[in-house]
Structure 1
Amino acid sequence: MFDPLIILVALGFGIGARALGLPALLGYLAAGFALHELDAQAGEFLQTLSDIGITLLLFTIGLKLEFKDLLKPQVWGTTLLHMLATQAFFMALLAACVALGLLTLSWMATAVIAFALTFSSTVFVIQVLQERGESASRHAKLAVGILIVQDLAAVVFLAFAAGKVPTLEALALFLLVPLRPVMLRLLSYCGYGELFTLAGLTLALGGAALCEMVGVKGDLGALIIAASLAGHQKAKELSRNLMQFKDLFLVSFFLLIGLSGWPEPQIVAIAVVIGLLSLLKPFLYFPLLTRLHAPARVSFLSSMALGNYSEFGLIVLAVAASAGWVDAQWSGAISLAIAVSFILSSPLNTKAHSWYRRWQPKLRSFESIKLRQSHPDTQGVKVIVLGMGNIGTGAYEDLATEYGYGVLGVDDNDHKLLKHMADHRRVIAADATDPDFWSRIDLSEVKLVMLALTNHQENMVVTRLLQELGYPGHMAAVVRFPEEAEELEHHGISAFYLFAQAGSGFAAHARAQLGL
């Protein structure tokens, strides 16, 4: 079967999975298994796309490496403790299966399979958070930080599994440090269009090829090059530009897993059991996070999002199989376990917020004493501005002339908050979608809530939350598109159409300059 036809089948299965409320990658895996039953054979084109997808995956991970965030105990401490506990648990489980004669595995294979099960899915978590409008929330940032540390552990494994010995020329990679300003300047010249995307692909794929020439695994080289750019706004933009390309090329990787065939029947049964055991992951994440001083709500929602297995585990197994450490059929087995974990995790995540509200008192009892004793000042608040970017700051300044200290700015960006505090604005760090935050405010005294979040889904989450809490005052929100304004106004929210009404403000500014 031609590779383009295989991709067409993957598209159909992906649409079917999405229609069922499941991640599209489950459809790609299912397409691979279905095509295997039809004796379809993949060509070199699919394998090439798969390799590019893995390289871009590691490159985009490198672009997100902001070490100051990863050095927080809630991130690296939780990740390492959870991975160690999960590793030990699955090694014991697989060893028991070997002892009972259900499996035949070496100790190396047992360790590698258990390691592949320690990860949670970056693709799944980001998709769930984006669909709920929570990409900028505290629990999203915490979950993504944990995922990045997990990915780094996988990168170390991949570098070890490759068995490559760097040549003396590999020392030239240290030149990336002084070359960082040069690369960023070149990226700035590329703007934000197709040239910018092409520059990113060149850095990822060209850098990987150069690293292979000096004895460094290409995927690892791509991550190192990307990490040298991390922390700059251009790196963030490049990560967003390449995200869709990475996901697109990884379709081939998931197809190849299915096309490699079904594992033996007893392994299929064990894989399904392993998939069911993903339900236990949040029960370990939550106490670890709260013990390391993460708020109860942030810990609960992060734990629920991370309650699955990862596509990165398949990459680990694929590399281990090529090194002869584990039978290739385990890639298919773990793909089944991942599928089961996604099927279970999807509906559970849709109920996470309602479950937290129901069990809020019990869950908050797990918070550390340090957090229970910290309560930001919210007394006398009359106006709340959610999102202290340029728009929110302008609104704050205008309203402060009338309400003074009664205006409260809310944001989740620590760097931004420090600047506002230096300018003597009343601001606090909080997640606008957090009912614990709103419980500290006397909503009967609040006259106006301004949603300057620019994320429509997040605006809707806050709107529904305040309506559930019985907020009696007025609300206004910034929107970018007419359909967003219609939905908000349907819920009784005054919508400020940013692009249209900004034009009126621009015209007024121009008239003032002309003295009209």
Structure 2
Amino acid sequence: MFELISLSFAFFFGLAVRRVGLPPLVGFLAAGFAVHVAGPWLGLPGEAGAILDHVSHLGVLLLLFTVGLKLRLAQLAQPQVFGGALIHSAVSTTVVSLGLVTFVALDWPTALLLGVVLSFSSTVFSAKMLEAKRDIGAFYGRTVIGILVVQDIIALAVLALYSGDAPSPWALVVLVLLPLLRPALHWLLTVAGHDELIVLAGMLLALGAGGVGFQAIGLGSEIGALVMGLLLSTHPRAKELSDALWGLKEIFLVGFFLQIGMSGLPGLNDLVIALVLVLLLPLKGALYFSLLLLFRLRARTAFLAAINLTTYSEFSLIVAAALLPDWLVPLALALSLSFIIAAPLDRLADRLFEHLEPWLQGFEARRIHRDELPTDLGAATVLILGMGRTGTAAYDEIAGHFPVTGIDADTYRVQGHVAAGRNVLFADVEDAGFWRGLRMSRVECVILAMDNVEAKISAARALRAKGFHGPIIAHALYEDHVLRLKTAGATHIYQTMNQAGIGLAEQAERAIDLGRQPASYIEV
């Protein structure tokens, strides 16, 4: 009964907020509060929260596992990631702790603990929003995830310090031996094949080896799930595994957002504390933005990352439940409000930056990060934007006939293409600064092969605004996308499923004609 009521509330609240342009997760949070209020009236059992807690935990582990599948170790060692996370945590902790001691008269140990957890941002929210926009592989997306991973490591150390639960002596041994296990883990994923077994293999590694295994040695199940994904990130089937787990992860994460809402209704004092914390969010975002600019990132990259990181962390609830139960409700409310505010801002971040760009670009460093340099396409006749499977197939087909250059926002994917001998450059096509610095005088045709239809529309508009008059070719999954792409300036649009069907029919016709020929005429 509890499961049916919770899912019903989640569905209808999620549907309602989506109708007004907000992401469904905002509705799930509201549904949690509604279930909390209606629970006694509906006669829900007391153990219902325990069930939701379990489902929520599974969702978080699967999310972090899939995030790990898209990470690279070198990403964490970048200055803007490691330095940005440490400096932000240090500054935020100092300011918030001093404020709590001065204005709330808290003791220093409690103030420091709250200062630390309030300096963190939500891994679940950021990963969810980046995945929805398909921006985890983009430069700003990888920077965000890297910062969050460093924060998770700090969080683990803080929790161990305050709770007195030190990691097992075996923890260091396990961490040293983990890289040696990579071949075995890759072999396991290879022999799992496809279909149900790859899903089971992913869940076994995320929940078993990562969750239960790391919990047993005192390192935290969340970190374990992330590390397991990281070890598999270089496997050829990493993307397939991530896609296979998508549906399960989404369902389980509904439980996470419901659980936050069900943590309790706030009183007046709780509401005041939550509102004060929400008023501090702009300062948190401004600090992220400033630090990333200091590490020579473009204003757009720093802005998108800062918007995505301007939330409070679900880790604050874990700490409150274990060490500060009196702070659980106000922190849950502040976390929920930060999601409600950040979700639409993150969704509109590109448009917001377009309006603020003339002002924000004045803060850019003169020397920008090497991964964000303007692009010269040289002698390329054909430009392919998006070098995933579709873009790579188009590149390989056309490269023998025309000079071609590919562009992708994932630096690791770009490195793989360059190693394979393809002329592929790194750039974020949704960055207006990229188009201003782009030199494409010899380009006669552009192929839009990105996954995200919004990115295609943005690129088509930017090409036309730049004065490009040649053909722009794109593919679309849905009928309504076709009109939007044409309006943006695309000239040739192919519906992917329709073209696949036509291709299959053409193959069938050739096979039938071939089968009807005399045996002596059939080519072998």
Range into which the TM-score falls when normalised by the shorter chain: 0.7 to 0.9
Shift of residue 271 of structure 1? Answer: 0.8
User: Counterpart of 2:288?
Assistant: 285
- DSSP-derived class of the 1:473 partner: coil
Query: Could you list the runs of 5+ residues in structure 2 that have no partner in the other structure?
Result: 515-520
Contact 1:170 1:214 in 2 (8 A): yes
Equivalent in 171, 180, 183 of residue 182 of structure 2:
180
Residue correspondences, number: 503
1:124 and 2:138 matched: no
1:363 and 2:364 matched: no
User: Counterpart of 1:439?
Assistant: 436
Contact 1:412 1:430 in 2 (8 A): yes
Determine the C-alpha separation between the residues in 2 that align with 1:159 and 1:58. 20
Partner amino acid for 2:80? Q
User: Counterpart of 2:494?
Assistant: 496
Shift of residue 302 of structure 1? Answer: 1.8
Shift of residue 494 of structure 1? Answer: 0.5
* Structure 2 CA distance for partners of 1:387 and 1:336, relative to 1, 3 Å: same
Determine the C-alpha separation between the residues in 2 that align with 1:490 and 1:188. 44
Shift of residue 69 of structure 1? Answer: 1.0
User: Counterpart of 1:138?
Assistant: 139
22-31 vs 503-512, which moves further: 503-512
Contact 2:22 2:344 in 1 (8 A): no
Q: Alignment RMSD, CA only? A: 3.7
Contact 1:379 1:441 in 2 (8 A): no
- DSSP-derived class of the 1:476 partner: strand
1:272 and 2:299 matched: no
- DSSP-derived class of the 2:147 partner: helix
- DSSP-derived class of the 2:112 partner: helix
- DSSP-derived class of the 1:50 partner: helix
Determine the C-alpha separation between the residues in 2 that align with 1:48 and 1:81. 34
Equivalent in 307, 310, 327 of residue 307 of structure 1:
310
User: Counterpart of 1:201?
Assistant: 203
* Structure 2 CA distance for partners of 1:26 and 1:487, relative to 1, 3 Å: closer
Shift of residue 68 of structure 1? Answer: 0.4
Query: Could you list the runs of 5+ residues in structure 1 that have no partner in the other structure?
Result: 100-104
* Structure 2 CA distance for partners of 1:49 and 1:413, relative to 1, 3 Å: closer
Deviation string, structure 1 residues 167-190 (Cα, Å, up to 9, x no partner): 566677355443332222122222
Contact 2:60 2:124 in 1 (8 A): no
1:84 and 2:102 matched: no
* Structure 2 CA distance for partners of 1:197 and 1:304, relative to 1, 3 Å: same
* Structure 2 CA distance for partners of 1:397 and 1:187, relative to 1, 3 Å: closer
* Structure 2 CA distance for partners of 1:220 and 1:70, relative to 1, 3 Å: closer
User: Counterpart of 1:316?
Assistant: 319
RCO (CA 8 Å, sep 6+): is it higher in 1 or 2? 1
Determine the C-alpha separation between the residues in 2 that align with 1:178 and 1:52. 27
User: Counterpart of 2:517?
Assistant: none
Deviation string, structure 1 residues 242-274 (Cα, Å, up to 9, x no partner): 354344334434434443423442231121121
* Structure 2 CA distance for partners of 1:332 and 1:448, relative to 1, 3 Å: same
* Structure 2 CA distance for partners of 1:453 and 1:501, relative to 1, 3 Å: farther
TM-score norm. by structure 1 comes to 0.82
Determine the C-alpha separation between the residues in 2 that align with 1:481 and 1:22. 22
Deviation string, structure 1 residues 124-182 (Cα, Å, up to 9, x no partner): 33444455554543222322322232233333334445544555666773554433322
- DSSP-derived class of the 1:450 partner: strand
* Structure 2 CA distance for partners of 1:63 and 1:108, relative to 1, 3 Å: farther
* Structure 2 CA distance for partners of 1:228 and 1:161, relative to 1, 3 Å: farther
4-13 vs 390-399, which moves further: 390-399
Determine the C-alpha separation between the residues in 2 that align with 1:377 and 1:95. 54
Contact 2:66 2:242 in 1 (8 A): yes
- DSSP-derived class of the 2:303 partner: helix
Contact 1:164 1:216 in 2 (8 A): no
Contact 2:375 2:434 in 1 (8 A): no
- DSSP-derived class of the 1:370 partner: coil
Determine the C-alpha separation between the residues in 1 that align with 2:168 and 2:53. 27
Shift of residue 300 of structure 1? Answer: 1.9
Task: Give % identity.
Answer: 36
